[in-house]
């Protein structure tokens, strides 16, 4: 196709694809399952028996991104209603098998699904970020209408900001370190108090490329989601790439925040 990418895309969407569709008797139905928290291989192994039972006209594609995998089901044939039923049935089976790893469908995103959950439950949230530097809150506010539930963020990169703005006990940092379960728990409490939210998520880690130690190598990241009475924590062991570590931590934090709010009932 000629032209720069956006021109080529417009020609494909507005002219070529409609023309091909009008001349073809084949129908293709796509269903997309969005997952977080497991890699492509783990997901493939978890649903291998279901995929083995696919009819010949149903295929699956694993489309990985950082900390996320999209599963795209494609059914081909001539009867659109039958293809819809076929793809939808296997979509539900796979979703039930993967359970909490599934966070949405189609063209949605973690940020959008968090928005849906918070709006439906009337929950307000805030973030306390160290190594992610505000990326979590940036993802949250990328969704229009997020002001209805997002109260704000404190980017507490330095320890004195953790102590003075989030009221993390200096002894906690002295004894356990800024990158510790105890610290992110106190960061959650501090964010809830400072920003007057129902729930908060906190992240503190060693994004790299420097700063690691034998006990806490680069890629060690603690995440906590919770309210004043209940907390959920997770130790993420990422790699050595700084940008990837920050992105992965942000994805896990959004996922944990969403799951915590859902589990509140």
Number of residues that this document lists for the chain: 265
Q: Tell me what pLDDT residue 5 has.
A: 77
Q: Name every residue whose Cβ is closer than 8 Å to that of residue 158 and which is 6 or more positions away in sequence.
A: none
- Of the candidates 102, 160, 87, the one whose C-alpha atom is nearest the C-alpha of residue 130 is 160
Three-state secondary structure readout of 193-227: HHHCCCEEEEEEECCCCCCCCCCCCCCEEEEEEEC
**Block residue for tokens 């006209």:** 57
Are 225 and 197 contacting, i.e. CB atoms less than 8 angstroms apart? no
- Beta-carbon-side half-sphere exposure of residue 115 (alpha carbons within 13 Å): 16
**Residue 22's pLDDT is what?**
67
Task: Give the C-alpha separation, 152 to 197, whole Å.
Answer: 9
Distance CA 142, CA 144 (A): 6
Where are the strands (E) in the chain, listed by range? Answer: 27-36, 58-65, 68-77, 102-105, 125-129, 150-155, 199-205, 220-226, 231-237
Task: Give the model's pLDDT for residue 252.
Answer: 98
The answer for 152, left when phi > 0, alpha when psi is -120 to 50, beta otherwise, is left
pLDDT at 216: 97
List the chain pLDDT tens, one digit each, 265 residues. Answer: 666 777 777 787 787 767 766 665 789 999 999 999 999 999 999 999 999 999 999 999 999 999 999 999 999 999 999 999 999 999 999 999 999 999 999 999 999 999 999 999 999 999 999 999 999 999 999 999 999 999 999 999 999 999 999 999 999 999 999 999 999 999 999 999 999 999 999 999 999 999 999 999 999 999 999 999 999 999 999 999 999 999 999 999 999 999 999 999 8
All domains in the chain, ordered by first residue: 5-105 (3.30.70.2860), 110-263 (3.90.950.20)
**Contact of 95 with 46, CB cutoff 8 Å:** no
- Taking the CB of residue 109, how many other CB atoms lie within 10 A of it? 16
């Amino acid at each position: 196709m000629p032209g720069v990418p956006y021109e080529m895309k417009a020609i494909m969407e507005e002219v070529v694809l409609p023309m091909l569709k009008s001349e073809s008797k084949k129908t293709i139905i796509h269903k997309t399952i969005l997952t977080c928290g497991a890699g492509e291989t783990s997901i493939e192994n978890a649903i291998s028996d279901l995929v083995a039972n696919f009819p010949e006209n149903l295929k699956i594609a694993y489309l990985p991104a950082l900390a996320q995998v999209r599963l795209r089901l494609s059914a081909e044939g001539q009867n659109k209603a039958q293809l819809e039923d076929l793809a939808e049935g296997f979509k539900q089976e796979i979703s039930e098998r993967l359970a909490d790893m599934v966070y949405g469908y189609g063209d949605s995103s973690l940020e959008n699904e968090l928005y849906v959950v918070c709006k439906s439950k009337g929950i307000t949230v805030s973030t306390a970020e160290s190594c992610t530097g505000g990326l979590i809150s940036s993802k949250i506010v990328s969704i229009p209408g997020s002001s209805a539930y997002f109260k704000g963020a404190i980017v507490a990169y330095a320890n004195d900001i953790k102590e003075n703005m989030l009221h993390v006990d200096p002894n906690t940092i002295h004894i356990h370190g800024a990158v510790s379960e105890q610290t992110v728990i106190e960061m959650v409490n501090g964010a809830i108090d400072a920003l007057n939210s129902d729930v908060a998520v906190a992240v503190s880690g060693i994004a790299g490329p420097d700063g690691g130690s034998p006990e806490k190598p680069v890629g060690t990241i603690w995440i906590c989601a919770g309210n004043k009475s209940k907390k959920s924590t997770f130790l993420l062991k990422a790699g050595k790439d700084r940008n990837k570590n920050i992105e992965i931590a942000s994805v896990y934090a959004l996922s944990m925040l969403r799951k915590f709010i859902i589990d509140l009932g």
